[in-house]
Amino acid sequence: MKQPHFSKEVSEERIKLFGKIKNSEDDLSKLAFLNKKKADVLIKGVLGNLYAKGIAAYNLED
Protein backbone atom coordinates (compact mmCIF):
# COMPACT_ATOMS: atom_id res chain seq x y z
CA MET A 1 0.00 0.00 0.00
CA LYS A 2 1.35 3.42 -0.97
CA GLN A 3 2.14 5.74 1.91
CA PRO A 4 0.13 8.98 1.92
CA HIS A 5 1.94 12.16 0.97
CA PHE A 6 2.68 14.30 4.00
CA SER A 7 2.72 18.02 3.43
CA LYS A 8 2.76 20.88 5.90
CA GLU A 9 2.27 23.46 3.15
CA VAL A 10 -1.17 25.01 2.72
CA SER A 11 -2.04 25.63 -0.92
CA GLU A 12 -3.46 28.91 -2.20
CA GLU A 13 -6.65 27.03 -3.13
CA ARG A 14 -7.15 25.98 0.50
CA ILE A 15 -6.48 29.49 1.77
CA LYS A 16 -9.04 30.95 -0.65
CA LEU A 17 -11.65 28.30 0.21
CA PHE A 18 -11.27 28.79 3.96
CA GLY A 19 -11.34 32.57 3.53
CA LYS A 20 -14.64 32.34 1.65
CA ILE A 21 -16.15 30.04 4.24
CA LYS A 22 -14.86 32.06 7.20
CA ASN A 23 -16.31 35.27 5.77
CA SER A 24 -19.59 33.76 4.60
CA GLU A 25 -22.98 33.72 6.25
CA ASP A 26 -23.51 30.05 5.35
CA ASP A 27 -24.35 27.58 8.09
CA LEU A 28 -21.32 25.29 8.19
CA SER A 29 -23.26 22.64 10.11
CA LYS A 30 -24.92 21.84 6.77
CA LEU A 31 -22.46 20.97 4.01
CA ALA A 32 -25.31 20.78 1.48
CA PHE A 33 -24.30 24.15 0.04
CA LEU A 34 -21.02 22.56 -1.14
CA ASN A 35 -20.79 20.21 -4.06
CA LYS A 36 -18.87 16.96 -3.55
CA LYS A 37 -15.62 18.31 -4.98
CA LYS A 38 -15.68 21.40 -2.74
CA ALA A 39 -16.65 19.28 0.27
CA ASP A 40 -13.70 16.95 -0.42
CA VAL A 41 -11.37 19.95 -0.67
CA LEU A 42 -12.77 21.30 2.60
CA ILE A 43 -12.30 17.99 4.42
CA LYS A 44 -8.76 17.57 3.07
CA GLY A 45 -8.00 21.15 4.05
CA VAL A 46 -9.22 20.62 7.59
CA LEU A 47 -7.18 17.42 7.90
CA GLY A 48 -4.17 19.21 6.40
CA ASN A 49 -4.47 22.00 8.94
CA LEU A 50 -4.80 19.52 11.81
CA TYR A 51 -1.73 17.65 10.53
CA ALA A 52 0.25 20.90 10.21
CA LYS A 53 -0.57 21.72 13.84
CA GLY A 54 0.52 18.24 14.93
CA ILE A 55 -2.99 17.19 15.99
CA ALA A 56 -3.74 14.65 13.24
CA ALA A 57 -1.50 11.64 12.69
CA TYR A 58 -1.71 11.81 8.89
CA ASN A 59 -2.68 14.07 6.03
CA LEU A 60 -4.83 13.09 3.05
CA GLU A 61 -3.41 14.31 -0.24
CA ASP A 62 -4.23 13.21 -3.79
Query: Would you kindly state where each structural domain of the chain is located, as residue ranges?
Result: 1-62
pTM, 2 dp = 0.37
Task: Say whether 26 sits in a helix, a strand or coil.
Answer: coil
Distance CA 49, CA 42 (A): 10
Q: Over 50: is that where the pLDDT of 9 sits?
A: yes
Residue 51 has a CB neighbour count (10 Å cut-off) of 19
Residue-wise pLDDT for 22-48, tens only, equals 555 555 555 555 677 777 787 788 877
CB atoms < 10 A from the CB of 56, how many? 14
